[in-house]
Amino acid sequence: MNNYIKQAKGLCGKTDIYGGGIQSHNNTYGSYMLDKKIGDVNGDGIADIVYLTGERGNYNFYEDIKIVIQDGRTMQRYVIPLSTQYNKAYNPWLFLGNFTTGSSDDIMVSLPVGGSGALTYYYIISFRENRPRYILMPEQFVDLTTPLGIEIKYMDKYRVLVESPRLNISYVIDVKDRKELYEGWIYDKAGKLIKPIDGFLIYQPHLNPIRTDGLQPYRLMAQQDIAGTSHADSLGYLITYWGFEKSIGNWVLDPEYFFVMLG
């Protein structure tokens, strides 16, 4: 992991990282400070400053996004580059919070990239003792949620079943409001299915840090789109909650349940 970190000698361009806010003026080199948070991320008990920086492209789309950390005790700066595949975004943001039961804050990065599903990629990184460790990578939730075996099936009378045989949980969504759209190719005039048809789950979720007990670490609330006949045919959202389990070094469903929220 040491290959991914280096001491920074400064940031390019006119962005003033010591300023009180994010600079929005034109920048000769295209380098901008995109967000800034303060908290103890290396565990020495002294608040550090965490910056998110990037190169401005077209239409306020930022590229080559990096995390820059200024050690609150030594004033040294460190740079954590992100994967070249997932280091671009519109309006990225930072969140500092303890996800791992340690004494320091972890760094959460949100990278909205847009598209029809408002696709967003996330990182969570521990920087304890000035050593970066990736707790969550952008595609990791696909591997976490696929084993839940979520099935989405259209049924007679304009109903859609959302179920997980593994969790023994199911919900039924009423889609009578789409009768004009569905009649003639999904349902006949009597409300019976013309042929079997499945919906699908958008596996890349929107993630939000939550904590219901101030003494416990943060968890992640994952919101995934439930799609019907296409990405644009949204039927609602699948909601799950995940906590980081240090003993296995991975995220676990907590509680082992899912909810359906209508959109």
Name the domain boundary from 138, 169, 184. Answer: 138
Q: With bands split at pLDDT 50, 70 and 90, how would you rate the model's confidence at 263?
A: confident
Statement: residue 237 has pLDDT above 70: yes
Q: What was the pLDDT predicted at 30?
A: 56
Specify whether 189 is located in the same domain as 237. Answer: yes
In sequence order, the β-bridge partners of residue 79 are: 6, 68
Instruction: Using the 3D structure, point to which of 117, 138, 159 is the last residue of a domain.
Output: 138
| Cα distances (Å, whole numbers) of residue 58 to 61, 82, 110, 116, 143 | 6, 20, 19, 19, 33
Q: Cα angle vertex 145, ends 91, 246, to 5°?
A: 85
Residue closest to 69 by CA, chosen among 41, 97, 44: 41
Q: For residue range 178-220, list pLDDT tens digits in order.
A: 999 999 999 999 999 999 999 999 988 999 999 988 788 999 9
Mapped onto helix, strand or coil, the DSSP state of residue 111 is strand
User: Which of 16, 18, 87 has the alpha carbon at shortest distance from 57?
Assistant: 87
- Owning domain of residue 42: 2-138
Cα end-to-end span (Å), the chain: 41
For 62-116, what is each residue's pLDDT tens digit? 999 999 999 999 999 999 999 999 999 999 999 999 999 778 999 999 999 986 6
82, 105, 138 - which closes a domain:
138
Cβ atoms 99, 217 nearer than 8 A: yes
Domain count along the chain: 2
Q: Of all residues in the chain, what percent carry a pLDDT higher than 70?
A: 87
